[in-house]
Homo-oligomer: A and B are copies of this chain.
Amino acid sequence: MSGNTINADEHKRKMQEQQRQVRAKIADAKTRRGVIIYLYGNGKGKSSSAFGTLARSVGHGKKGAVVQFIKGKWKTGEQAIFRQLGVKHLVMGTGFTWDTQDREKDIAAAGAVWNKAAPLFKDPAYDIIILDEITYMFKYGYLSAAEVSEVLLARPEKQNVIVTGRDPIPELLEIADTISEVKEIRHAFHHGVKAQKGIEF
């Protein structure tokens, strides 16, 4: 199980150099402030990632909130966990836009949930807030990306925000501190595997 292709001394030297680089970067990173993390792309794992970070924060005793766009009507495993962990949960009540097929109703629902979410970004009690799948709102013109970005930038200094959604929105790319693109390389769904409880929802 080992494979002695790498010489032990060479390995040690390389690891020492890597350790030095990592330590130098840690020493350079001195600013203590909340960050905006933006996860976009067509791959699976963006919302899960946000929820995993939330769970980790709550594990450290932090206070969190989740604002879910689009997936509002789904009865998800997340909801059970959010309740159990004392996380505030706001949802847009109308489900997928291709289920409602009513633009005016979607716009009203998006505005309503955003109006409830906005005050959280003025409340320093919240350490971490997730805006899940909000990029659809910008793409369809239901919410203004400029207006939301302005609210995020004016938030309390230590507050962290995670924004997820399929699309790279210019206003979010501009203001985010950490950005990952999640690209679909393969998806079981396209190969006839049924969506499962706990994995997909």
Contact = CB atoms under 8 A, between A and B. Distances in A.
A15 B77 CA distance: 27
A58 B81 contact: yes
Given A51-B52, A53-B199, A178-B186, A59 B80 contact: yes
B1 A98 contact: no
Interface in A19-56: 19, 22, 25-26, 28-35, 37, 39, 41, 43-56
Contact of A57 (B2, B104, B199): B199
Interface residues of A, number: 102
A8 B181 contact: no
B1 A198 contact: no
A181 B45 CA distance: 10
Interface in A139-196: 140-144, 147, 160, 173, 176-196
Contact of A140 (B6, B31, B99): B6
A136 to B, nearest CB: 12
A177 B196 CA distance: 13
Q: Which 8 A-B residue pairings sit nearest by Cβ, starting from the closest?
A: A57-B198, A52-B52, A43-B180, A48-B52, A59-B77, A51-B52, A3-B141, A56-B77
